[in-house]
Amino acid sequence: MCGINGIFAYAPTAPAIDRDELIRVRDRMRARGPDGAGAWFSDDGRVALGHRRLAIIDLSETGAQPMASADGRYQIVFNGEIYNYLELREELEKRGRRFVSHSDTEVLLHLWELEGERMFPMLRGMFAFAIWDSPRRRMLLARDPYGIKPLYYSDDGVSCRFASQVKALVVSGRVSKTFDPAGAVGFFLRGTVPEPFTMYEAIRMLPAGSFLFIGEEGPGEPVPFFSIAGTLRRAVTDDRPISETELQQIVHDALLESVRYHMVADVPVGAFLSAGIDSSAVVGLARESGASDLETLTLRFEEYRGRDNDEAPLAALVASFYGVRHTVQDLTLPEFKTALPRIFEAMDQPTVDGMNSYFVSQAAAAAGLKVAMSGSGGDELFGGYTSFRDIPRWMPVTSFLSRVPRLGDAVDNLTKVAATKSRHVNPKMGEIIRYGSSYAGAYLVKRGRFLASELPELLGEEVAAEGLRGLDILGLIERTVMPDPGTPYARVMALESSLYLRNQLLRDMDWASMAHSLEVRVPLVDARLLEKLAPVLVRRRGRGKGILAAAPRPPLPAAIQTRRKTGFTLPIREWLQKDEGVSAQPGKRAWARKVYEAMFSPQNGSW
């Protein structure tokens, strides 16, 4: 896990590379890679690559980056891990390739030389990398199928810059800081800035599962090489008969394989452990795979003590059941407040989430870990969210009501009045009718933080209107279910995986863990795993989380399997209620305002 950056002055009129700029951007990401730093500059002063290293695989100097191919044609900077690199290396050696390191980075170089764009389906891992091809005068940027690792780029018409963090690009001094209303609108509607937008007009995120080339005419359009919706669509058409026994075996084998791959490292690997099925299953499968020195970590809060959402007692039960070393870290409101400035500094883009990941990553780093596994992705894969139930139930009714002229506006006005008299009235009713003609519209309402009608009050009329036009939130959501996955369950699965998981959970996990120089791996978020499980899950509507709970051998304790889902969260609502002026507001809505105000600089109108 690392931080990467680079500059390509592709136009003849572009100024030569500023070496200080490259180093400045690179070292803004020092927390992503405290184990080493490297830089490469082309002889003509037109190309530069930077790298901050967190050494996980091949800890020696031979694994340092930027890394050159044997003939000097290619230069690579790479962030992430290729879990099947040993198998790929073996195949490459059979084809006559010789290696000077034991790193997965060198495997990528050889693969690119031999396979070019055909290499992407061969990779099992999380990655964001850049490869410079000197004779062809072009730069490749690529990002993994789920978008676990971030990659941002900015083009000014003569030079293109890229980096692992938005805030790193900004310190270059050569990237415009003009505020993007679409990013702000996206944040308030979704609780995070939707890909590919950022809070800056000049900076965009490379879409997950895609690559692009930057040539002498500038960056081309991103080219997708993986589609969640497309994978699910193919799975729906697979109608092979599968017995219950076969189903359980397929799920067990695929999950165990993924966990084994995600434990490949030259340093110890730990795991986050809540009282939920996802993280508990990962721990159980890790022990089944042979992990004998696994260390697990849990956060504990006084506000939750004795309540259903107190994760500590059941997490300790799971740790004891599977025989792993376990650490419980207490977190208090004073500690949270003290950490807030550091959190906002680490937060690359505004988000309502990520606090839990920040503090459990802090605990893992304090325990001496450089790698930890997380259970993120289990709800998206096995249908653990209420959206899997609610949206398909809404559709027959809302698709009919949405065709009634102005009904949504009328209901919206009625609910606004009613909401002033009762907190039990759902203020989203009008929006549900207005947008309920499609799965994308229903998902927008289901997962929305603020309503579109509330944006003018939050951002001002002009910014809200411009942001809504630029964002096209409904179109953005609709594209995640194209091609149509074909079943209600598969459609919701595509929506949750492509939006909430990718834009919120994975992105938050990245910045929050990297703030503590910790690599977090997500074995339930894996393209190969999706391809193996989708055919048996989409036709059986996921079967719920029970099938995941039964996957480890032995299965999870009964107390975990029957526990009511609460989610791994901080007591934000309780903490905010202790602060004057926010006690009457729902926790995450109040927190969204607080995040926006903390990160936005009204003095210069930028971020």
Domain ranges of the chain: 2-226, 242-383+509-570, 403-433, 577-607
Question: What is the average pLDDT across 6-17?
Answer: 97
The upper half-sphere exposure of residue 269, i.e. CA atoms within 13 Å in the direction of its Cβ, equals: 24
- Is pLDDT larger for residue 539 or for residue 316? 316
DSSP lists the bridge partners of residue 6 as 49, 162
Whole-structure pTM value: 0.94
Helical axes 228-236 vs 488-495, angle rounded to 10°: 160
- Distance between CA atoms of residues 55 and 53, nearest Å: 6
The predicted structure's pLDDT at residue 601: 59
Question: What is the average pLDDT across 173-197?
Answer: 96
Fold assignment, 2-226: Glutamine Phosphoribosylpyrophosphate, subunit 1, domain 1 (3.60.20)
Six token digits for residue 449: 């933080």
The predicted structure's pLDDT at residue 509: 97
Question: What is the average pLDDT across 312-317?
Answer: 94
Question: pLDDT tens for residues 337-347?
Answer: 899 999 999 99
Six token digits for residue 443: 């998902």
Question: What is the average pLDDT across 85-101?
Answer: 97
Out of 47-51, 159-163, 252-256, 394-398, pick the least confident: 394-398
Report which DSSP code applies to 61: G
The predicted structure's pLDDT at residue 604: 42
Question: What is the average pLDDT across 150-165?
Answer: 98
- Tell me if domain 2-226 and domain 242-383+509-570 are identical in fold: no
> Cis omega before residue 571 (within 30°)?
no
Question: pLDDT tens for residues 549-598?
Answer: 999 999 999 999 988 876 667 887 777 676 644 444 456 788 898 899 88
Give the CATH superfamily of 242-383+509-570.
HUPs (3.40.50.620)
Query: Does the pLDDT of residue 290 top 90, yes or no?
Result: yes
Question: What is the average pLDDT across 166-187?
Answer: 96
The upper half-sphere exposure of residue 297, i.e. CA atoms within 13 Å in the direction of its Cβ, equals: 27
Six token digits for residue 59: 């800890």
Six token digits for residue 80: 């992430």
The predicted structure's pLDDT at residue 574: 78
DSSP states of 487-551 as a string? SHHHHHHHHIIIIIIIIIIIHHHHHHHHTTT-EEE-TTS-HHHHHHHHHHHTTTTT--THHHHTS
